[in-house]
Amino acid sequence: MRYIDEYRDAKAAKHFAELIKKTATQPWTIMEICGGQTHTILKYGIEDLLPDTITLVHGPGCPVCVTPLEMIDKAIAIASRDDVIFTSFGDMLRVPGSKHDLLSVKANGYQVKMLYSPLDAVLLAEKNPDKKVVFFAVGFETTAPPNAMAVAEAKRRNVTNFSILCSHVLVPPAIEALLSSPLTKIQGFLAAGHVCTVMGYDEYIPLAAKYKIPIVVTGFEPVDILQGVYLAVKQLEEKKHEVENQYSRVVQKEGNRPAKKLLSEVFDTVDRKWRGIGTIPKSGYQLKESYAEFDAEKIFKVENISQPESSICIAGEVLQGLKKPVACSAFGKECTPEHPLGAPMVSSEGACAAYFHYGKINKN
């Protein structure tokens, strides 16, 4: 398959692994921001191909993982109503709230549906005028445009029984929060290619300059990751700190203009709580006042639900790249994909689940 096979090519992978080995003269710590990249790194055993000098830490870029417990409890409260059809992307359904998950709500006889597109939720609302259809609008800048479009479309078609439970988060404020922490070990970033497809990479330029850190916009195939690591290491060795675009086959500097325009029409930027990290200023989207009639939090009055996180789970430190999943005392014991304590064990993109599924061979 074009644009896939050549980026899963053993020769190309080996070529970049060797370049990294030749280039790195000292230890470097690089964070891949996106959960999709973490998934590739573990699925393809990329760390095995890297020299000991390079440490990869897995960032907070899994939307499922960083959705706070209380937001899942809000979703569960809304979904557990007879007058609601609750809809969501697939992997949000298995994320544990403080008591149970959305799949259990479904098992209890309520209507919880997995959808592939938020626009299908608008259609579902039109087909079911006696029900309130809610879409769980989770994700980074990548999934925000389709969610914004669903809301705009519902308004245009006057679909009054559709709403979204909005939990969108933004990448650049998270990078800034990580870099401004005195504990940070991160010396280079692989930025999330698909987020930049929408937003471009203008907003990363001041970050790279302020924190003197290379940021490489990187794709999701194994060769993409290896090339991204190589470009970051090369900059570090040359004492450069620029924003570079490895994923130029997809990403343009200014991003997707119509998508960005739509986002600014529908959403306001607000402070947002991240699971395991805490509140990050200006790191989330919320529906603008002019779209308030589509805001499920307001419609179902769940704004007051709040919930502290599990005390054993070190999800916060894992998501900040301070610890690896295997450093958790609960990893693979109390906490498994069947009984996750924290969100990174739930999603296949979560760092803990990725270690659990693919990591065993390295330990044996």
Binding site for other proteins (CB under 8 A): 1, 4, 8-10, 13-14, 36, 42-46, 48-49, 63-64, 87, 89-94, 103-104, 106-108, 113-116, 120, 138-140, 142-143, 194, 222-223, 336-339, 347-349, 356-361, 364
CB of 305 to other proteins, least distance (A): 22
Where do we find the tokens 């998508």?
259
CB of 13 to other proteins, least distance (A): 4
Cα separation, 66 vs 74, whole angstroms? 15
Judged by beta carbon, residue 51 or residue 337, the one nearer other proteins is 337
Cα separation, 32 vs 192, whole angstroms? 8
The SS3 assignment for 238 reads coil
Judged by beta carbon, residue 4 or residue 183, the one nearer other proteins is 4
Q: For residue 289, what are the contacts with CB-CB under 8 A and spacing of at least 6?
A: none
CB of 68 to other proteins, least distance (A): 16
Judged by beta carbon, residue 37 or residue 235, the one nearer other proteins is 37
Judged by beta carbon, residue 173 or residue 350, the one nearer other proteins is 350
CB of 36 to other proteins, least distance (A): 7
DSSP 249-314: TT--TT--HHHHHHHHHHEEEEEEEETTTEEEEEEEEEE-GGGGGGBHHHHTT-TT---PPPSS--
Q: Which two tokens stand for residue 87?
A: 């809809």
CB of 239 to other proteins, least distance (A): 30
Judged by beta carbon, residue 195 or residue 243, the one nearer other proteins is 195
Cα separation, 246 vs 251, whole angstroms? 9
Judged by beta carbon, residue 87 or residue 283, the one nearer other proteins is 87
CB of 8 to other proteins, least distance (A): 4
Contact 313, 328 (CB under 8 A): yes
